[in-house]
Amino acid sequence: MTEVLRRGRASLAFSFFAQGAAFALLVTRIPAIQDRYGVSDALLPLFLAAVPILAGVGSVATEQLVKRIPATRLLRWSQPVVLLALLGVGAGERMVELGVALAVFGLAVGALDASMNMLGVSLQRAYGRSIMLSFHAAYSLGGIVGASLAWGGAHWHLTLWVSYLPVVLVLLPAVLVGSRWYVGADGRDVENEAERGAGTGAGGGVVFRALLPLCLVMTFAYIGDSTVSNWSAKYLQDVLGSSEQLATVPYNVYMVTTLLGRAIGDVGVRRFGAVVVVRLGAVVAALGFGVVAVAPGAWVGMGGFTLLGVGLCVLVPQTFAAAGRLFPGASDAAVARLNVFNYVGFLIGSPLVGALGDAWSYRGAMVVPMVLVLVTLVYARSFAPQPDRYGGGHERPRTADVGRGSNGL
């Protein structure tokens, strides 16, 4: 069983990596996509908003599908669809083709994100200690690789499909092969789970009132993340007076610190517990926004964005893990519903900061995500262990991710 879990962990981590790379390749080439299809500035926000909206639909649909189909099977087939849809975005010629490709991408991403995190929560339960942050570290690494490849494509003036094709040709067979070792809700590999049906993860029920604090934390975290991804370059250049070249650095630094924070974050959860880690992450993230808001120059501003990466990186993985602990008999349904608020935060964050920046000031706009991420402190107790809610022998006594300490693998 230990070998099965190790293979399952490695294969799932690679899926997170592949998804990070695919998503980065899409969002970092938006100007090239706009030029290829002749999408106007007025129409572009509609195309961009459609992806997270449809992803939310895909996540909601996944909640229902996992009642009949194992999450392992949904992940096995949704990831290739995402990669092929990415290639479709690069290969089309007419605007309607772009619309279809983005629609497929959005729906598949919703199913992919939900099923990946479902399996991550299940594996963490099987391991009996915190490993969720390591999966999201793999996603961050994929994002860095994807953004770097996108920079290369733009630097060498490659057409979109030429830029995307090698990536898809490498990742597509790799994720299909790796999907053979996914581990489902009962700790079995994908082949055995397919014989048993959808498993136990979708059983029971989810009380939305109990899940709501985690939904708010997820929304606030993604408002902060989308603020960095969409406004860091503009803020550094227009508000802090940096050069255009230097303005591209904060997001890269943010991604690197996110990767580093997630790579070591599980150790902190095992030693100090999820509540302490989440509280510390919220405080550091709020401090980062505060530094950005009052920064006298570009280098101090970059220091603020660095703090943001360190702070925000722990919130999302621990929110998924907390949902699994809160509803151990219905973790798949809880994760699918919680995942929707990923896209809610993404949809709210960028327009909110932009509107406040235009109407007030961009320095003042940075205070809003700072306050929202601090609200996480109010809900930090939702990340605490709730032993009376555990059942079915899934959690081991004195496990790390409930803050009791752990012996490493």
Residue ranges of the domains in the chain?
2-196, 208-402
CB-CB neighbours of 7 under 10 Å: 16
Secondary structure (3-state) at 263: helix
C-alpha distances in angstroms, 36 versus 86, 94, 105, 148?
14, 9, 18, 21
Residue 316: the pLDDT is 96
Contacts of residue 267, Cβ cutoff 8 Å, sequence gap at least 6: none
CA–CA dist 7, 19 (Å, integer):
19
What residues does 189 pair with on adjacent strands? 183
Contacts of residue 310, Cβ cutoff 8 Å, sequence gap at least 6: 257, 260, 261, 281, 284, 285, 288
Secondary structure (3-state) at 347: helix
DSSP 324-370: HHH-TTSHHHHHHHHHHHHHHHHHHHHHHHHHHHHHT-HHHHHHHHH
Name the superfamily (CATH) of residues 208-402: MFS general substrate transporter like domains (1.20.1250.20)
CA–CA dist 403, 384 (Å, integer):
8
Residue 128, φ and ψ in degrees, nearest 5: 75, 20
Residue 321: the pLDDT is 96
By CB neighbour count within 10 A (0-12 exposed, 13-18 middle, 19+ buried), where does 111 fall? buried
Residue 48: the pLDDT is 85
Contacts of residue 323, Cβ cutoff 8 Å, sequence gap at least 6: 121, 211, 214, 331, 334, 335, 338
Residue 152, φ and ψ in degrees, nearest 5: -60, -40
Residue 406: the pLDDT is 35
The reply to whether 208-402 shares the fold of 2-196 is yes
Residue 402: the pLDDT is 34
Q: Which amino acid is at 214?
A: L
**Inter-residue contact 241 to 335 (CB < 8 Å):** no
Residue 1: the pLDDT is 59
Pick the closest to residue 61 from 99, 124, 106 (CA basis).
106
Q: Name the helix (H) or strand (E) containing 376.
A: none
Q: Which CATH fold would you assign to the domain 2-196?
A: Growth Hormone; Chain: A; (1.20.1250)
**Inter-residue contact 308 to 224 (CB < 8 Å):** yes
Residue 194: the pLDDT is 42
Please tell me the pTM assigned to this model.
0.88
- 258-296: b or e for each residue (b if 16 or more CB lie within 10 Å)? bbebbbebbebbbeebbbebbbbbbebbbbbbbbbbebe
Q: What is the mean pLDDT of each run of 10 residues along the chain (409 residues)?
A: 90 97 90 90 87 95 94 96 97 94 97 97 92 96 91 88 96 96 70 42 67 96 92 90 83 91 95 96 97 96 95 97 91 95 93 90 95 96 68 38 35
CA–CA dist 255, 270 (Å, integer):
24
Contacts of residue 336, Cβ cutoff 8 Å, sequence gap at least 6: 59, 60, 62, 63, 66, 114, 118
